[in-house]
Amino acid sequence: MNIIRTVRSVAFSSIPNRTLSTTRSLSTPSAQYTAFEVNDKTGIATLTLNRPPVNSLNLELLTEMRNCLKDAETNKCKGLIITSSSNSVFTAGLDLLEMYQPQDERVKSFWTALQSMWMELYGSKIPTAAAINGHAPAGGCLIATACEYRVMLPNFTIGLNETLIGIVAPKWFVSAFLNVVPRRVAEQAITQGKLFTTAEAHNVGLVDDVVNTKEEAIAKCEQFIGSFKNVNPYARALTKQQFRIKELQELEQQREKDLQIFLGLIMQPSVQKAMGIYLEGLKKKSKKQ
Ligand SMILES: CCCCCCCCCC/C=C/CC(=O)SCCNC(=O)CCNC(=O)[C@H](O)C(C)(C)COP(=O)(O)OP(=O)(O)OC[C@H]1O[C@@H](n2cnc3c(N)ncnc32)[C@H](O)[C@@H]1OP(=O)(O)O
């Protein structure tokens, strides 16, 4: 892959207890919806989702996320932090326009890219952390739970709300959720399509920490990644794999079947109708604001 390396100085003087540092921006020429930077001092990479207005995950954004993750691993970064350039939305989840009245080849590529992105993030060798600085419904929650650590800002929401849109969270969406939330809480919440407030999410273990600012969230993620500094990275990666291999193998072996189930479900007229109504509701709400 053709990686452009630029060196960009970032003054951290406004952040207490931090020495001046630099970040390298590694970005592919086609990167449109993401910013990817590596802190030269800590070796930690930050992937910032930047697809206004709500970072909804379309095929291009998913592809860029995969490229960033690959860059972080190839460049032997100490860890990866995922965050958002928005002040109110981490990501609104999958781009509903990819699934509403979709084109055959595009929607297949879209779902396949989502599967790949999830497997690569969930199974990543390097430590991963989510600085959730906004709402994280559905696919947003999927990304957060694929990471090893989550810190969230107050008064936002997170959860798997698919049933409210008339769609079903696939088993692999649920499996990562079950890593962090007790089974009974998960079953009730996901069948209800519940979105947890930050405080509720913290209470049930869906997020590990709550802080007030994005800077504090990034610092918490850095702290989490830094906690592995005395751990052999190879031993760490293999140990992580032992915890996650079952879900990864399950999806890998069922990829084609999972795609066909997805297509079968979203192409049902009743599902298309429910999605259309949901989208219309979002647009009406957006116009009122
Ligand atoms: C048996 C097993 C079967 C398995 C089968 C598989 C089935 C499929 C599974 C797929 C799973 C889906 C997971 C998903 O991620 S679906 C997406 C779910 N996301 C949501 O429900 C969130 C919807 N959005 C919101 O609630 C809000 O936008 C927000 C995130 C809280 C932000 O609020 P806001 O006030 O800041 O912004 P808002 O005015 O609402 O929106 C601005 C514009 O963005 C559009 N928009 C919002 N979300 C999406 C989206 N997810 N996709 C596309 N577009 C979105 C919104 O319509 C506004 O547009 P416009 O400005 O009016 O044009």
* Annotated catalytic residue within 37, 98, 148, 162: 162
User: What are the residue boundaries of the structural domains of the chain, listed by start?
Assistant: 34-282
**pLDDT score of 15:** 26
**Residue 45 near residue 74, CB atoms below 8 Å:** no
What is the three-class DSSP state of 197?
Answer: strand
> Residues with beta carbon inside 6 Å of ligand 1?
53-54, 56, 88-89, 92-97, 135, 137-139, 161-162, 165, 167-168, 170, 261-262, 265-266, 282-283, 285-286, 289
Verify cis geometry, omega within 30 degrees of 0, for the bond prior to 53. Answer: yes
* Annotated catalytic residue within 93, 123, 134, 139: 139
Helix axis angle, 139-146 relative to 171-178, nearest 10°?
50
**pLDDT score of 30:** 75
Q: Residue 133 gets which letter from DSSP?
A: -
Give me ligand 1 centre to Cα 94, in Å: 7
**pLDDT score of 26:** 61
Give the residue ranges of the chain where pLDDT is below 70.
1-29
The pTM is what? 0.92
- The rounded distance, in Å, linking the Cα atoms of 6 and 8 is 6
Residues with Cβ within 8 Å of residue 229, at least 6 apart in sequence:
78
- Of 279, 85, 258, 60, whose CA–CA distance to 175 is shortest? 258
Can you tell me which atom of ligand 1 is nearest the CA of 97? 53
Give me ligand 1 centre to Cα 28, in Å: 27
Its CATH architecture, for the domain 34-282, is Alpha-Beta Complex (3.90)
Q: Which of 286, 287, 288, 289 to mutate to test the pocket of ligand 1 (most atoms within 8 A of CB)?
A: 286
Other CB atoms within 10 Å distance of the CB of residue 120: 16
pLDDT for 167-199, tens place per residue? 999 999 999 999 999 999 999 999 999 999 999
**pLDDT score of 287:** 84
Query: Is 161 one of the catalytic residues?
Result: yes
- Gyration radius of the chain's alpha carbons: 19
149 forms beta bridges with 129
CA atoms 188, 189, 192, 196: torsion sign: positive
Cα 157 to chain centroid distance, Å, stands at 14
